[in-house]
Structure 1
Amino acid sequence: MSVTIIQTEDFAPIRALRMAVFVEEQGFTVESEFDDLDETSLHLLATENGEPIGCARLFVVEGEGRIGRICVAREARGKGIGAALVEAGIAHFRADGLSRAALSAQVQAQAFYSGLGFAPEGPIYDDEGVPHQMMARAI
């Protein structure tokens, strides 16, 4: 297995992954999945032997690094790709001098993010019928 994570401006593989995972698999609408943040965010792309298998987007809100739209193709799950994307995002924010990272986690994925050092913050909220909660950690 040869997994690589790069920053990319090529949105086509990012869009295809997010369509497959968030829209087709999880039922989010296209309109909610793709927003104005896509134009200004930094996008990470994970590939295995040259094939796109995961992605995430990075942006900053009031001095806090945000990692969002983290997804891994169904056939690539369970290999640590999601964790590697989160860690790559944290490394990017740390290099930029930020001291905190946050993400909006689906409640069913909280244990995964807790294992990466994130702790829940604030109330659980609804995002298209899926419970979410902000989670954050020092970096």
Structure 2
Amino acid sequence: MNILIRSWQEAEKDAFKVRRAVFILEQGVPEELEIDEFDSSALHALAYHDNVCIGTARLHMSYDGSGQIGRMAVLAGFRNRGLGLQIMNVLMGVAQSKGLSSLMLHAQVDVIPFYEKLGFRAEGPIYDEAGIPHRNMMMILPT
């Protein structure tokens, strides 16, 4: 397994293939919502197996020293193998190396326990995002 950090220009083709399979085709997210204004400025983690991208997520950094992880997706045939954990650990390491003080994410409700194991805490009410129940989660990064 190889996880690379890339700009959107370098990551777009591979990241979108995974995101399309997971979010658009599997979960029914409207295609026009999948790529947004944060993609071009985010750092993208791409996980490869035999030179095929099988997982992705992104880290968007704000000017206030915080970051947001999003668009975490692993192809169905590669889930429950620790790949999501590896991707998150890489992005959390990048966030720390960039001096970010905190991270937040919009977690689909059914995967909140996954993020809690990484140290994120759920905050606020459940809300709808692209037709899927979500909840905000936060983490203060060690200095």
Normalised-by-shorter TM-score class: over 0.9
Residue 133 of structure 1: aligned partner: 135
Cα drift, residue 73 of structure 1: 0.5
**Which of 101, 105, 108 does residue 110 from structure 2 map onto?**
108
> TM-score w.r.t. structure 1 length?
0.94
Residue 47 of structure 1: aligned partner: 48
Q: Is the 8 A contact 2:121 2:138 kept in 1?
A: yes
Q: Which amino acid aligns with 1:95?
A: S
Root-mean-square deviation (CA, aligned residues, Å) is 1.0
For structure 1, list consecutive stretches of 5 or more residues without a partner in the other structure: none
**Is 2:22 aligned against 1:24?**
no
Q: Is the 8 A contact 2:11 2:46 kept in 1?
A: no
Q: Number of aligned pairs?
A: 137
Q: Percent identity?
A: 39
In the alignment, the residues of structure 2 paired with residue 93 and residue 113 of structure 1 have an alpha-carbon distance, to the nearest angstrom, of 16
> TM-score w.r.t. structure 2 length?
0.91
Report runs of 4+ in structure 1 exceeding 4 Å deviation: none
Aligned partner of residue 84 in structure 2, secondary structure:
helix
1:36-67 C-alpha deviation (Å, 9 max, x unpaired): 11111111100112221100011123321111
Residue 2 of structure 2: aligned partner: 4
Cα drift, residue 128 of structure 1: 2.2
For structure 2, list consecutive stretches of 5 or more residues without a partner in the other structure: none
**Which of 96, 99, 107 does residue 98 from structure 2 map onto?**
96
**Which of 66, 70, 76 does residue 74 from structure 1 map onto?**
76
In the alignment, the residues of structure 2 paired with residue 20 and residue 94 of structure 1 have an alpha-carbon distance, to the nearest angstrom, of 30
